[in-house]
Structure 1
Amino acid sequence: MIKTFIEETLSKILEQNSADLSQLVFILPSKRAGGFLKNEIKQKVTETIFAPTVLSIEEFIVDITNLKPLDNTNSLFKFYETYSSLTDKNDKEDFETFYAWAQTLIYDFNEIDRYLIDSQDFFSYLSKIQDLNHWSYPDEQTELIQNYLKFWHKLPEYYKHYTEKLLAENEAYQGLIYREASIKIEEYLATEDRQFIFIGFNALNNAEQKIIQHVIEKNKGEVFWDIDKVFFQDKAHDASLFLRQYKENWPVFNENKKIFNWIADNYSAEKTIEVYGIPKNIGQAKHIGNLLKNYSAEELTNTAIALNDEALLLPLLNSLPANVEKANITMGLPLAETPLASLFESLFVIQEEKTEKYYYKPVMDILNHPFVINYLGETSHILQQKIAEENQVFISLHLLQSIISEDKVELLKNCFTNYKDNVTNFLKALEKITLILKEELQQASSLEIEYLFHFNKLFKKIQNLLAENNPINSIQALHKIYKDTLSTESLDFSGSPFDGLQIMGMLETRVLDYERVIISSVNEGLLPAGKSNNSFIPYDLKKEYQLPTYKEKDAVYAYHFYRLLQRAKEVHLLYNNDQSGFQAGEQSRFITQLQIEKQPKHTLTFHQINPNVHTTKRDLKQIDKTPEVLEKLKNLAKYGFSPSALTSYIRNPLDFYKNYVLGIRDTEEVEESIAANTLGTVVHDTLEHLYKPYEGKNIDAAILKKMQTEANQQIVKEFQKTYKQAPINQGKNLIVFEIAKRYISNFLQQELKTLEQHSLQIIQIENKLKAKLEIENLDFPIYIGGKVDRVDQLDENLRIIDYKTGKVDQPDLNLKNWEQLTNDYKFSKAFQVLCYAYMIHKKTPINSAQAGIISFKNLKKSYLKFTDISAGKNQLIDEKTLQKFHIEIEKLILEIFDPNIPFTEKEV
């Protein structure tokens, strides 16, 4: 077993303070580290004692000042009060605009205070830089630039008013607490008899440095550092950047000759370091699971997994092997990652609509949410089905209430009321929704109840925040507050921090040591995090005032990484080597450093792990024709196979089986944009309405011109009938609506041109046809049936016409080989028109006719005729042609009814 830093430090302290530990105050970087220290004290002390005080650095700073800490959201609200009171009414921005830049400014206030910068001097310097940098210099300043510069000149006033107001109310944001603590430390120590022991610190801000130095100077305590001599002696190594500065620059270590406790010598000892390049987060999670399989329960207790990317937590938990019986997760599950978060996000989206009707997608998301389905039951599916059937793109609360039972209606009222930017009422509704959903959850659903409890608490927290001072005047602004507050909330996992596998974030490893360490996502951009700059302070100004830049932030990551490796004997480093996406595939610079600065006793091995992808040959599905299936086919044949059903079989027999034998249809969905088949239906039905009154009559120019005047109005009616509730006067739908008008207009115009040289008689419009197929080998009736769009006579030529709103070209109707007709789906259009010709012939024998397509997308080609290429480009439909067709359709029917030929899927 390794000797940890806490163990080494405590042994030294016990030697010096064996008499009374209760007179000691231990101060550590985090509460978690404090818990491990208490456990170590319990292990080492053999007699009854009063426990020493153990504090995190934040708790110690608050203890010095007695100020109430403010979180980020509270700080923003307090600052808005300052901003409102000091800003001219004409220049004042609303809270939503203010919120966008104020978060960055509060962060900068924090930095200035933590590093004890003279605010007046600093802001004066910053405003002069902005004055020099403004883009119109030296031209006369515009009003925009004047306002911009006025903001920077007012910053000292904002800061002074804000901090004084907070201190008067005995509260402060974190940076201000640090500044006040650095002022009050001398007064605090004068009242204290206890000794203060600082353990495991690295990157200290100026306030912390001042406080710790003052404690040491007054002989009120000491500090124990944790740095290895390999790093400390290397002047260029970032891991020791801060500690070298403290040893060299703090007077207590130079003038007062205090001992620098201490520089360890562990890193150069024997270590096995394995580096794995693995694609994707899931790959890393699975590989960690494979590594853990090989550890015993005792080995797992001294194993830590450090996650650089919190998104890896859930995949990792799902990948833990069976031998991991105990696991302690210190990170917590972010509330934003829970299933319930998506429901409330949809409710905020709903409120973006400024009318009493809501866009269907977020409505469907809400109705389809597991928590809502659990509460509404089958009613949720009925609501969704009605929305789809009626094609409701925009949905009102009234429609939903008309279907739901009275006892369930309260949930929908709270979800789908338009709160018209009344923030208070909307928050109350969100809170009420959590209580309503809880009603249907059984006690067994403890995790779901936990989710609801935390969201209920979150909404109450925001309500309490707004109760004191509510500058928010829109739900959109509330949404930003909600998302920021949500990002800070998490569900804590219960577990023993001293037993079993430890899973934590990188910062939570501070002061802790493990024999086996697994670090995930060791990628550049994650470890270290890179050059993010969420600050108004320019880089050169930060350097001037010795504020931390990305250089210092990188050094913080370097220290955490190498400190975790110092005492470990077995290290596994995993990084995402996938080359797609942002920040992809690049291993961290720390891995490269391990290679370049490899210690003699270190065994460093690199692996490229690729997932085992088993290539399995996909067998085409087959469905045998059972007696029940054959009976169903006979019933279909008796009713009549449609041309589209038979072409469906030609395209893919398995689709034919699903659609016509089993009767499975695609789930009906809301048609937001007009689909191709809807456009086709509208055009067909419009032409039927226009031409139907003239069946059996000759068409002249006057009739066609009358149709032209009626066409647009009829198209609107057909859209209302087919497309139901959806709007056709905006967006893509308006374009499709105009296309339908253009199709009909162009077609009627072409008809007029045809009449200039030809006579035209309408014989049939949308006539239902049915014909019996005589097949000797089958002892039951076979019928085919369908609806022919139009049969007319142009001069002396009988024409059978099928309308298509899609693109059809002449080659689609040119048949070189008759066997292609029932083998190749490409010729489905030819098959279809021949079916109509065959059915018409059965009723009234055809001596000579033409069958073809009018394609509205290819209208310039006019009438595309079926052409038998094998018979010398014959375009006439006669007895001989129909006999050839009968032979092919008979083969197709016999294949469909052959019990020895299963329905076999065709490869796409």
Structure 2
Amino acid sequence: MTTPFTLIDWRSDCIGALIDLLLERTGGDMRDTLVIFPHQRPRRHLMERLGRDPRFSKPLFLPNMVSVNEWLPGLRRIIDPRPLITAGPLDRAGLLYGVVENLRREGRGLLGNLPLEREHFFPWGRLLADLMEELARHGITPANLSHMTSEVQELPAALLEQLGDISAGYEAALAERGWTTPGLDARAVMTHADKAATQEQQRTVFIVGFYALTGAEEAIFKALWQQGAEIILHTDPALAERPAQTHWACAEHVRWLRLWDTEIQHFGPDMGTRRPTLRFFEGFDLHSQLSRLSDELDVSERSDTAVVIPDTSCLMPVLHHLPEKDVNISMGYPLSRSSLFRLIETVLRLQETAAEPGRYYWREVIALIRHPYVKMLEPLPGVPVRGMLRELERFVRRGGKYLDPREWEPDWESLPEGALPPGVSPEHAMEAVRSVLNGCLDAFESASTLAELGQALLTLARTLVPEHGVENWHRFPIDAECLFRLSSAVVPAITDSSISHDRYGRSVLFSILRQLLEAERVPFEAEPLTGLQVMGMLESRLLRFSRVMVLDATEDKLPGTPAYDPLLPDPLRSLLGLPDGRHRSLVAAYNFHRLIAGADEACIFYQSGADGAGPGAGKAVRSRFVEQLLWDEEKRRGQVVQPDGKLLTSITLPVAGIPEVQYGIDKTETIQNKLDHVLRTTDLSATFLDSYLHCPARFFHERLTPLREPDEVSEAGDPAGLGQLVHAVLNEFFHPYLNQRMDISSLDPRPLQDLFSERLENEEFFRQMPYDMRRGLVASGRQRLARFIDESGDTTILALEKRHQANLDMDGTLLTVHGFFDRVDQRPEGHVILDYKTGAVMPPAQSLWSDTEFWQEILAWRAGDADPLPLLAKRLNSVQLPLYSWLFLQDKGAAPHNAAWVELRDNGQERSLFGPKVGEETRETAVCEYAPAMVRFVVRHMLSCSRFEAMPGPRCTYCSYAFGCEEKSR
């Protein structure tokens, strides 16, 4: 006669009730007792509670407590004592390739018509091996699935077409090698379930807390139950009293009772009509949820509180909002989210983007030497490398697109202070730097097998943890655990597999490594089991907490969207008898509702704003489980729940208005002295004056501080370098025509084009550009120079690249002002100053020159008056050509007729300073009076201003100092 199932009310403490049951059934002598749990975490809680329970005399023989996945392999070894080896994931994938390749050679079906390269099979082999494991755990022998070409891609359709044959060949190959897998262990015990039950007949067996069973578990547990094992369900008490009214999330328990045709009896305290106090918090995003979570934790007792995180991506943000003491984490953290993974990814990308072995892409080199792990290294005792790596970065930025950083030889005489560690010789410093680079590069360059790749990872690990530098990692426990996981789990999986010495291409090796790293979880199992607990939803099974806080309870997290399986999509799983998405949702529902039912108070946080899953993912939706809880409350209250600050709270954060304060730098006495020195010792140029005119804040950073733009390798071209090249080419081309009247449009443009192409080919920035950009630049440059020749007319070139300077009196102080004229022409109407522009040209508004009232304001301006600088900058755009015209006047005694920018980036037309409607008298006034007035005004303004104010505008997009400007972030 079979034993009825035992029900523990899911509103009560399952571990506490289990202890009472063990005491009642065993009398306290548990040496011959076996307790089987779904996972390991309840065992730790049971041990701790038994140790504190005064009803058990001490010392105490504890029961044998195991998770089902620990128990089944041991039971298989008892039933089948053969010394089988458990094959790892890579072994299984490699074995499956041989099986599939043999079937392909037979030429049957779709598989016979497909090429099957070993390198490209591995991702499918991993999926196929996982499918074989799942089938074995459910005790399913798969059939061939035909006509799948409309459901999946070509290769998976071919694999599914011979799935049964692959399964048979796979198991035969495993048996031939004396290998097994966890899934086959489970199926072997299932096949001999009665024998397995007999093995446990001498012990009192408790099967505790299971919900949805695999096929193997169901067969084995039934055999145990029929021989006296006790099955304990932590579920809705209505299952024993009113089965028809059982909570829908307990559907698997209802099915279990019906299928086994048994009864269930209640054990444990009667919870009556007890219901948890529910509170819901709706925030716009995760940050608002965390803000309220901190408030809730501050006002409550944390000794029996759990913060449950459905998604591991929230773990790190949550930890930053928790109290500093008594916080225990019991969940797995993805290794792929760690800094160690980012370092390995950088090392792999270095090899993948290299032009040739040992010649690395400069951006990836910088990413490597900037990684926090690398910067903190001290490869030799007392020899940190941070300062030297900073100098290496400068070298990389000033070099070519591809380089070998190990070839760097610093100029020791010019190293800045602090680069070389105090008391360290140059030889030791370079030895330390090269040891770091070698550890990150050498072994990965030559790896052609998984074994060699594993050794490369161990070399990297030894580089990160030198023998004398282990203590540094004690400050970073999470990072240290990730590094330990890499060495103890990932590397052995790579080096100890049966395919570890097979040769593969680099792409396959790195793909295998990435998949293993992404599948790895770093476990956190904190002790003691008191204080605030942080855990995932699966880790909360069978545990009870007085106060539960579920974070980010959205539909994409609870129940969550399963990852797409390209081999066997969810709609096809039922064809093989495997659980589908609906079944997984039911399991998630049971775990959630059981956790909530057991709490005295449950705070459920969710977001209703932008979804954090990525751009275009749409609005986050609260979980269907949360919707049901709210619906139950609405039915009980008889009204729709609205945010009232009690049951439902809408989290609002204070939003302050954007302050209307313009960014600027206050001028101190030190800054004023620096500015005075610069004006006394510097010849003022149009570039100098324009810098202040466009944005005083940028002028401050460029001219009065040591800040400079970071060096960059010019992959996409160098606009400044191209401009200098074009100026030099035009100067050389026109030099033979000096002082000769000619029609430029009649010249053959090909010599100019050829000179441009020749010079361009020799430029370093040009050689670093991608091929398509190089060809495009050559073609467009030649075409624009031809247009420039066509647009030019009758003229006499008087000067090329000539410097002009003059002294300008400003309040009794002489300022030296200068400029380089690209070209001075003699035209029929008079002298014209030309300036070549390869960038954008913005001539001033022509109405500016006739606005005498505005210019009187500029002439008379003094500190304290209304500031016309922004208006002048907007209307004038640049002081360059007005200043050049005034310099020409000072040199020649007569004003030029006009000045113009030559817009080379378009069609080479001249954009004149003075339009045709500007009269001669107005031009004379502009050159003789307005030009020196604007220079005096700009200098007077920079001397007398109290702040260097930012002037936001289109130029902010290209400003190297905009990162520190509040106007940029507004």
> TM-score normalised to the size of structure 1?
0.88
- Residues 855-893 of structure 1: CA deviation (Å, up to 9, x unaligned): 124436x22222279x85559843663223223322222
- Residues 582-624 of structure 1: CA deviation (Å, up to 9, x unaligned): 2632000111111222385999711111333333525332422
What amino acid sits opposite 1:289 in the alignment?
A: S
Q: Corresponding residue for 2:75?
A: 64
Closer/same/farther in 2, CA of residues 69 and 33 from structure 1, 3 Å limit: farther
Shift in Å, 1:459: 5.6
What amino acid sits opposite 1:228 in the alignment?
A: D
Closer/same/farther in 2, CA of residues 282 and 225 from structure 1, 3 Å limit: same
What amino acid sits opposite 1:673 in the alignment?
A: A
- Residues 535-575 of structure 1: CA deviation (Å, up to 9, x unaligned): 64566764466431211111101100010012211001111
Are residues 1:393 and 2:410 paired?
no
Q: Corresponding residue for 1:269?
A: 274
CA contact under 8 A between 2:490 and 2:517: conserved in structure 1?
Answer: no
CA contact under 8 A between 1:23 and 1:52: conserved in structure 2?
Answer: yes
What amino acid sits opposite 2:707 in the alignment?
A: I
| Structure 2 gap segments, 5+ residues each | 1-9, 78-83, 107-111, 378-384, 412-428, 859-868, 954-970
Q: Corresponding residue for 2:284?
A: 279
Q: 3-state SS of the aligned residue for 1:405?
A: helix
Are residues 1:243 and 2:285 paired?
no
Closer/same/farther in 2, CA of residues 835 and 533 from structure 1, 3 Å limit: closer
Please give the residue correspondences for 1:330-341 in structure 2 after superposition, counting only pairs within 5 Å. 330-341=330-341
2:873 pairs, out of 812, 825, 828, with 825
1:321 pairs, out of 317, 320, 323, with 323
Aligned mates of 1:172, 1:501 — CA distance in 2? 41
2:942 pairs, out of 896, 899, 905, with 896
Alignment length, in residue pairs?
868
Are residues 1:405 and 2:430 paired?
yes
Shift in Å, 1:315: 0.8
Q: Corresponding residue for 2:18?
A: 9
Shift in Å, 1:795: 3.3
What amino acid sits opposite 2:371 in the alignment?
A: H
Q: Corresponding residue for 1:708?
A: 750
Q: 3-state SS of the aligned residue for 1:673?
A: coil
Q: Corresponding residue for 1:361?
A: 363
2:893 pairs, out of 845, 849, 861, with 845
Closer/same/farther in 2, CA of residues 625 and 50 from structure 1, 3 Å limit: closer
Closer/same/farther in 2, CA of residues 825 and 230 from structure 1, 3 Å limit: farther
2:933 pairs, out of 884, 887, 895, with 887
Please give the residue correspondences for 1:451-490 in structure 2 after superposition, counting only pairs within 5 Å. 451-458=482-489, 460-466=491-497, 469-471=500-502, 473-490=504-521
Q: Corresponding residue for 2:96?
A: 79
Aligned mates of 2:914, 2:668 — CA distance in 1? 36
Shift in Å, 1:652: 1.5
- Residues 163-215 of structure 1: CA deviation (Å, up to 9, x unaligned): 23334555433332221111123223323311211011101112111111111
Aligned mates of 2:500, 2:928 — CA distance in 1? 85
Q: 3-state SS of the aligned residue for 2:213?
A: coil
Deviates more, 1:423-432 or 1:191-200: 423-432
Aligned mates of 1:269, 1:591 — CA distance in 2? 19
Closer/same/farther in 2, CA of residues 718 and 637 from structure 1, 3 Å limit: farther
- Residues 16-64 of structure 1: CA deviation (Å, up to 9, x unaligned): 2216311110001111111112223223313433221001011111121
Shift in Å, 1:346: 1.1
Are residues 1:349 and 2:349 paired?
yes
Q: Corresponding residue for 2:661?
A: 619
Are residues 1:288 and 2:293 paired?
yes
Aligned mates of 1:474, 1:401 — CA distance in 2? 33
RMSD: 3.4
Are residues 1:684 and 2:727 paired?
yes
What amino acid sits opposite 2:254 in the alignment?
A: R
Aligned mates of 1:623, 1:808 — CA distance in 2? 32
What amino acid sits opposite 1:795 in the alignment?
A: P
> TM-score normalised to the size of structure 2?
0.82
Are residues 1:772 and 2:812 paired?
no
Please give the residue correspondences for 1:378-777 in structure 2 after superposition, counting only pairs within 5 Å. 378-390=387-399, 392-397=400-405, 399-400=407-408, 405-417=430-442, 419=445, 422-423=448-449, 424-439=451-466, 441=469, 443-446=471-474, 447=476, 450-458=481-489, 460-466=491-497, 469-471=500-502, 473-493=504-524, 495-530=526-561, 532-534=563-565, 536-537=567-568, 542-543=573-574, 546-580=577-611, 581=615, 582=617, 584-598=619-633, 600=636, 605-615=647-657, 617=659, 619-620=661-662, 621-624=664-667, 626=669, 629-630=672-673, 632-699=675-742, 704-705=747-748, 708-718=750-760, 720-721=762-763, 723-724=764-765, 726-728=767-769, 730-751=771-792, 754=793, 758=794, 760-775=795-810, 777=811
Aligned mates of 1:592, 1:263 — CA distance in 2? 30
What amino acid sits opposite 1:437 in the alignment?
A: L
Shift in Å, 1:230: 5.0
CA contact under 8 A between 2:559 and 2:623: conserved in structure 1?
Answer: yes
Shift in Å, 1:699: 4.6
Deviates more, 1:673-682 or 1:1-10: 1-10
CA contact under 8 A between 1:223 and 1:261: conserved in structure 2?
Answer: no
Deviates more, 1:605-614 or 1:540-549: 540-549
Aligned mates of 1:726, 1:267 — CA distance in 2? 81
Q: 3-state SS of the aligned residue for 2:556?
A: coil
Q: 3-state SS of the aligned residue for 2:35?
A: strand
Closer/same/farther in 2, CA of residues 470 and 666 from structure 1, 3 Å limit: same
Q: 3-state SS of the aligned residue for 2:602?
A: strand
Please give the residue correspondences for 1:193-272 in structure 2 after superposition, counting only pairs within 5 Å. 193-219=202-228, 221-229=229-237, 233=243, 237-251=247-261, 253=262, 259-260=264-265, 266=271, 268-272=273-277
Aligned mates of 1:748, 1:360 — CA distance in 2? 39
Aligned mates of 2:96, 2:246 — CA distance in 1? 42
What amino acid sits opposite 1:888 in the alignment?
A: M
Closer/same/farther in 2, CA of residues 718 and 279 from structure 1, 3 Å limit: same
Aligned mates of 1:48, 1:430 — CA distance in 2? 46
Shift in Å, 1:317: 0.9
CA contact under 8 A between 1:867 and 1:875: conserved in structure 2?
Answer: no
CA contact under 8 A between 2:718 and 2:765: conserved in structure 1?
Answer: no
Seq. identity, %: 20
| Structure 1 gap segments, 5+ residues each | 136-143
Are residues 1:783 and 2:816 paired?
yes
Shift in Å, 1:796: 4.9
CA contact under 8 A between 1:682 and 1:715: conserved in structure 2?
Answer: no
What amino acid sits opposite 1:474 in the alignment?
A: G
What amino acid sits opposite 1:317 in the alignment?
A: L
Q: 3-state SS of the aligned residue for 1:223?
A: strand
Q: Corresponding residue for 1:185?
A: 193
Shift in Å, 1:720: 3.7
Aligned mates of 1:203, 1:358 — CA distance in 2? 52
Aligned mates of 1:789, 1:58 — CA distance in 2? 81
Q: Corresponding residue for 1:130?
A: 148
Q: 3-state SS of the aligned residue for 1:859?
A: coil
Aligned mates of 1:267, 1:30 — CA distance in 2? 30
Shift in Å, 1:264: 8.4
Closer/same/farther in 2, CA of residues 537 and 410 from structure 1, 3 Å limit: closer
Closer/same/farther in 2, CA of residues 689 and 206 from structure 1, 3 Å limit: same
Shift in Å, 1:839: 1.2
Closer/same/farther in 2, CA of residues 208 and 783 from structure 1, 3 Å limit: same
Q: Corresponding residue for 1:138?
A: none
Aligned mates of 2:807, 2:786 — CA distance in 1? 38
Q: 3-state SS of the aligned residue for 2:389?
A: helix
CA contact under 8 A between 2:888 and 2:895: conserved in structure 1?
Answer: no
CA contact under 8 A between 2:844 and 2:876: conserved in structure 1?
Answer: no
Deviates more, 1:194-203 or 1:414-423: 414-423
- Residues 829-858 of structure 1: CA deviation (Å, up to 9, x unaligned): 552101111112212212442111111244
Aligned mates of 1:847, 1:480 — CA distance in 2? 71
Aligned mates of 1:149, 1:341 — CA distance in 2? 34
Q: 3-state SS of the aligned residue for 1:301?
A: coil
CA contact under 8 A between 1:686 and 1:715: conserved in structure 2?
Answer: no
What amino acid sits opposite 1:165 in the alignment?
A: A
